[in-house]
Amino acid sequence: MGTRESIGWAAVALIADDGLDGVSVRKVAARAGVSAGLVQHHYPTKQALLMAAMGSVDAVVAERLAALSGQLSAEQRLRALAREILPLDPERAVEGRVWLAFVARAAVDPATAAAHTASWQQLEDAMAALLAEHRGHPSAEQGDRDQAALLLAGLDGLAVAAVSEPSRLPTDRTARLADRLLSDALGPG
C-alpha cells in the first residue's frame, strides 16, 4: 500500500472510531505513521482528506463486488451484493460506520451528497440489472429500477440500524431480514 492509500485508510479508521469530527491532519498523520506535512501534501484540505477516505471505502466495496463470479445466477449475485453492503462482519462494520458518517454529512454538504449519490446510483443500477436478468428482461425496465430503489432503501435502513443499534439488530438478525427483503424483491422468477 502506498503512502496516499495508507493516509486514506488512516482517515477511514479515525472516522470509524471517532466520526468525521475526530479527523484531523495531526491524528491522521500519527495513525498513518507519517508527518502532518506529508498528509497535507497529498490532501491539502480536510475535505479532500475526507473524500479520499470515502473513496477508499467505495473502492474496496467495488473490488469485492467486481469479484462476484459471473458463474453465479443473477439471484446469487444480487444476494451477494446485498451482503457486501451490510455490516455483517468486522470489516463491513467499519465500512458501515464510515458510510453512516458520510450519509449524515451528505445532508448538509453538497460535495459529499454528490459523491454519495453517484456511489448509490451505481449500486441501484447494478441491482436493477440483476433483477432484470433474474426476470429474463433484456435490460432493466422501470419496474426493475423501482424494485432496486426499494431494495436499496431497505438495505440502507438495515445498515443504519445494524450500525447504530447492534444489540437490536445483531448480524444474524440483519442477515435474516436482508434475506426477506431480497426474497420480496426477487418475487417469482
Domain segments of the chain: what residues? 1-55, 68-186
Q: Which residues of 154-181 are buried (b: 16+ CB within 10 A; e: fewer)?
A: bbbebbbbbbeeeeebebeebbebbeeb
Q: List pLDDT tens digits, range 99-125.
A: 999 999 999 999 899 989 998 999 999
d(C-alpha 106, C-alpha 140), whole Å: 28
Domain 68-186 listed as CATH 1.20.58.760: no
d(C-alpha 129, C-alpha 68), whole Å: 14
Q: Is residue 6 over pLDDT 80?
A: yes
Question: Terminal CA-to-CA distance of the chain, rounded, Å?
Answer: 43
Of residues 48, 45, 56, the one with CA closest to residue 2: 56
Give residue 145's pLDDT band: very low, low, confident or very high (50, 70, 90): very high
* Other C-beta atoms lying within 10 Å of the C-beta of residue 143: 13
CATH number at 1-55: 1.10.10.60
pTM of the model: 0.87
DSSP code at position 168: T
Which of 69 and 156 is assigned the larger pLDDT?
Answer: 156
User: Please, are residues 106 and 113 in contact by the beta-carbon 8 Å criterion?
Assistant: yes
Q: Is residue 68 over pLDDT 80?
A: no
Q: Cβ neighbours of residue 170 under 8 Å, at least 6 residues apart?
A: 162
Q: Is residue 35 over pLDDT 90?
A: yes
Of residues 112, 118, 94, 97, the one with CA closest to residue 51: 112
